[in-house]
Amino acid sequence: MSVTQLSTADVVRQALRGKRLDLRGTIFQLALLLTLIVSLGVLAALLVQVIGDGWVVFRDRGVDFLTSPLSASAKRAGIQQGLIGSVILMIFVILLAFPIGIGAAIYLEEYAKDNTMTRFMTANIRNLAGVPSIVYGLLGLAIFVLVLKPLTGGLSAFSGGLTLAVLVLPIVIITSMEAIRAVPQSIREAAYGVGATKWQVVRHHVLPYASSGILTGTVLSIARALGETAPLILVGAITGVFFQSSGNPIDRLQGPYTSLPTVVFSWTRLPAAEFRHLAAAAIMVLLVVILAINATAILLRNRYERKW
């Protein structure tokens, strides 16, 4: 009697446990993991290719490559103008896209009533974020280069900076809105409760708490703007050789310009192997800067992320 009872329990236990090894499940899980391993492999192959092609330039020339202007001769060509151009473009993005973007986000999250107009504005911003970057180049060409020529000087660093600022604006707005939305309502109510006005609530309570999220988003958008090429070639970033217009800063802003990724593009298109090495070396510089910016953003997020 007791023997049969035991065996029944064993049978049940065995049935519940199932087959020891779920072969199909394991293969499935490995296949899923493989997708991430493939992605890592692509990144590794990309880095190996770029460093393999580009390190000779740094070995032979060192900093000379960073401080030489563009040239038709591969032995003398460098990325100085690209670096300067990219810095100018980023200043435009920081001065224009950040204040306008954060201001728009504050309006939409804190001030605007939930009505049709607000919903339309939000939907519009989301659509703008999905517009291909080259279309922003067309906007820049039609408006900044042609219509605003007296101000921008036509195909100039001014037009390029405005175009990039417009390009990242929707991203800045969306990430800032998310950061502001994450601040709990109770904090606002507490501030109103002691008599603060709307602006005081925003300035002293909402913005400080949302600042790490806003900062992360804006830092990421700088990295995005730094790597953009397509819109710039439409608004006149030079893909050949040019001489920097010297003199006062306004002449410089209204004169010819290029950017680091544009230099990469123009060298990549040239068939000679020396220019492929130069392109790879310029990519190394670009990737170091962009990956450093992205890592800063991720660190900021991990460090200051708040759980309410």
Window 59-98: residues binding other proteins (CB under 8 A) = none
For the CB of residue 2, give the shortest distance to other proteins in the complex, in Å. 30
Q: For residues 6 and 204, which CB has a smaller minimum distance to other proteins in the complex?
A: 204
Binding test (CB under 8 A) with other proteins, winner from 169, 191, 206, 219:
169
Asked whether position 242 contacts other proteins by CB under 8 A, the answer is no
DSSP-based three-state secondary structure for 191: helix
Which residues within the stretch 170-209 sit at the binding site for other proteins (CB under 8 A)?
170, 173, 197-199
| Whole-Å CA distances, 306 to 52, 142, 286 | 42, 44, 32
**If DSSP codes are grouped into helix, strand and coil, which group holds residue 131?**
coil
Residues 99-118 contacting other proteins, CB under 8 A: 99-104, 106-108, 110-112
**Tokens 């703007």 -> residue:** 225
Q: Which of 262, 267, 291 is nearest to 278 (CA)?
A: 267
Nearest C-alpha neighbor of 267 from the set 290, 292, 285: 285
Distance CA 260, CA 232 (A): 11
Out of 226, 278, 281, 285, point to the residue binding other proteins (CB under 8 A).
226
Closest contact distance (angstroms) between CB of 9 and other proteins is: 19
Could you tell me the smallest distance in angstroms from the CB atom of residue 249 to other proteins?
25
Core vs surface per residue 43-55: b (16+ CB within 10 A) or e: eeeeeeebeebbe
Q: Does 290 bind other proteins (CB under 8 A)?
A: yes
Smallest gap, in angstroms, from Cβ of residue 76 to other proteins? 22
Q: Which of 115, 130, 150, 249 binds other proteins (CB under 8 A)?
A: 130
Q: Is 135 in the site for other proteins (CB under 8 A)?
A: yes
29 binds other proteins (CB under 8 A): yes
Is the Cβ of residue 254 or residue 266 nearer to other proteins in the bound state? 266
* DSSP state string for 212-276: HHHHHHHHHHHHHHHH--HHHHHTT--SS------SSHHHHHHS----HHHHHHHHHHS-SHHHH
Under the binding rule (CB under 8 A), the answer on residue 132 touching other proteins is yes
**Residue count of the chain:** 308
The one among 298, 299, 305, 306 contacting other proteins by CB under 8 A: 298
Tokens 């601040």 locate to: 183
Q: Could you say whether residue 49 binds other proteins (CB under 8 A)?
A: yes
